[in-house]
Structure 1
Amino acid sequence: MNASLTAVAGLRVGHWSDPVARTGVTVILCPDEGCVASASFAGPSPGTREAALLAPEKRVERVHALVFTGGSAFGLAAADGVVRFLHERGVGHPTRMGPVPIVPAAVIYDLLVGEPVWPGPREGYAAAASASADPVTSGPVGAGAGATAGKYKAPVPTGLGSALARWRDLRVGALAVVNPVGDVYDPGGRLVAGHGDREAWMRAEPRPAEHTTLVALATPAPLDKREARMLAEAGQAALGRVIRPSHTPWDGDAVFVLSTGRGAAAPLAALSALVQEAVCAAVTAAAG
């Protein structure tokens, strides 16, 4: 049984990974008509592309893919390859000159983990071309290839994780790339990745802009952008349950919400609860 993000019908996920350089890119492809999307950004150091248009008041409603990548700001170029991949297939926001693909992207800083290599357009294109509806594999793959936790003391490898939360006919899928300065715990309080060293944390002076957790959430339930933003904020709250400390002055966490709109309407309160369950499970899977 598929218990990952791709259990939401219409979504496909692909990766490009460099296990030697320990970097990579992960692409989530939406149905051709796109997904209604919004996002929430917490912390002073997010690295993003096309983020402003996800605000509820902005005109563009749908995105056609979402890119998570290593390489810090350099890695944002991977989205160019995904734009080209979609353009070749006639997928995008309708304009008078033809469809224009809308592809938000977010990065983690993994430049000190392996070789000084980062994904670019070619790697983004390859990840998009490999995308499938198969269950998403958790571990050091794609954008999670160089992810680490516990960097207030010494980096501990984590990765990418995916999970699915269900209640009756409702479902929310999550995909997380876990790269925080803090430690990762499971919802029961067990240390999964990091050091659990409060004294070391209190004395630490981490470097800014090198620590980020990225989360993509998806549901078939129809949402507008305002509702998607509310669920993204619920996802941010869930990070505080499994990353300690979370949302620090050195983190730049980003949570995106995608709605395919292909399912039945659902109570926002129920979706919010599923969002938090899915985020906790995906982060734990990434770090385990």
Structure 2
Amino acid sequence: MPEHSSPTTPGAGAITDVAGIEVGHYSDPRRPTGCTVILAREGAVAGVDVRGAAPGTRETDLLAPGNLVQQVHAVMLAGGSAWGLAAADGAMRWLEERGVGLDVRFGTLPIVPAAVLFDLPVGDARIRPDADAGYAACAAASRAAPAEGNVGAGSGALVGKLFGIDRAMKGGIGTASVTVNGVTVGALIACNALGDVIDPNTAQVVAGARTEDGSALLDIRRALLRGDLPKPLLAGTNTTLGVVATDAVLSKVQANRLAAVAHDGLARAINPVHTMSDGDTLFALATGRVPLEGDAPGMTVLGTMAAEAVALATVRAVRAARSVRLGDSYFPAAADLS
């Protein structure tokens, strides 16, 4: 069985640097799949922005600014395609047992939006995250910096599938944070992209599609522009998911705007991104610990911070990943080709 976790990369922070945020992973020991929960037990104002054309989501409509619910209590990210949405049921059960949720008179209702990625080609596709997996992820949640790489929702993630899955590489989970004038923005990304992952600081491909002999990186952007033809794709078999969190006080309108601008980080770190075969979805959470007044950054700076944290977390997701070999299938990691 392949390794399911790796140590957090030092130096760039984590989403749990945001006050009020906890993260827990569940990695299935039977095959590379799992789920990751981002908890905000005291509630967080939330927004969402879906850019990919093949999303798998739950409870995203309620995050629209004009809709009733003002806060959520967790966000669930999971493998397993649409089946993996069941992991959110486990998070609801775990939170309800602890009295966390919205008082609806007849019970305490936890609000848990969710999104899934497609990791079914890696191992036995009949094994998917379920409610018990989501419950276990919540039970494992803490304020500690979460593990990165082959863990949680990133356990079975792959990147660079545009020229065939046999030329893909291992994706995973990454996290990062940025602090400016007392306000922190953190991101957690589960990278399962169709395209390559790019280091924005060098413009070099870090992980993605490999050459036909598998020994080197192809560079999808240049391959497409010179006329190389991609392989036929099954819609929805990719997707990068993530959560951006801040300790700033935000309205629902501002949280939705932060989620939208955070996609700039995906655009800097993935190429191509937001394709017809990706369901790229970013949530934004605001725990409301720091007012945006005085020297605190405004929305323009917060958006810049969010995009930066997302780009950093995306690159860390593939750099922390480890190779996976299952039968005749081999998916190397960035470290194997560097």
TM-score where L is the length of structure 1: 0.96
Aligned to 2:291: 264
Aligned to 1:76: 85
Query: Aligned pair 1:275/2:293, yes or no?
Result: no
Query: Aligned pair 1:42/2:56, yes or no?
Result: no
Aligned to 2:171: 158
**Whole-angstrom CA distance in 1 between matches of 2:62 and 2:40:** 17
**Cα deviation, residue 231, structure 1:** 0.8
Query: Aligned pair 1:184/2:208, yes or no?
Result: no
SS at 1:220's partner residue? strand
Query: Aligned pair 1:284/2:326, yes or no?
Result: no
- Match 1:122 to one of 118, 122, 132: 132
Query: Aligned pair 1:250/2:277, yes or no?
Result: yes
Kindly provide the amino acid, as one letter, of the partner of residue 123 in structure 2: G
**Cα deviation, residue 31, structure 1:** 2.8
**Whole-angstrom CA distance in 2 between matches of 1:145 and 1:125:** 17
Structure of higher CA gyration radius: 2
Aligned residue pairs, count:
287
Kindly provide the amino acid, as one letter, of the partner of residue 206 in structure 2: V
Query: Aligned pair 1:97/2:106, yes or no?
Result: yes
- Match 1:56 to one of 48, 59, 65: 65
Aligned to 1:4: 14
**Cα deviation, residue 20, structure 1:** 4.4
**Structure 1: 5+ residue stretches without partners:** none
Aligned to 2:239: 212
When the two chains are superposed, the root-mean-square deviation of aligned CA atoms in Å is: 1.4
Conserved 8 A contact 2:175-2:186 = yes
Conserved 8 A contact 1:19-1:145 = no
Aligned to 1:113: 122
**Cα deviation, residue 99, structure 1:** 1.4
**Whole-angstrom CA distance in 2 between matches of 1:101 and 1:58:** 16
Instruction: Write the deviation string for residues 141-199 of structure 1: whole angstroms up to 9, x where unpaired.
Output: 00000011000122210100000012221210000000111000111212111131433
Kindly provide the amino acid, as one letter, of the partner of residue 13 in structure 1: V
Aligned to 1:224: 251
SS at 2:150's partner residue? coil
Instruction: Write the deviation string for residues 64-83 of structure 1: whole angstroms up to 9, x where unpaired.
Output: 01100000011111111110
SS at 1:234's partner residue? helix
**Whole-angstrom CA distance in 2 between matches of 1:132 and 1:179:** 24
Runs of 4+ displaced beyond 4 Å? none
Conserved 8 A contact 1:160-1:176 = yes
Aligned to 2:229: 203
Kindly provide the amino acid, as one letter, of the partner of residue 171 in structure 1: T
**Whole-angstrom CA distance in 1 between matches of 2:13 and 2:52:** 30
Conserved 8 A contact 1:161-1:176 = yes
Conserved 8 A contact 1:31-1:260 = no
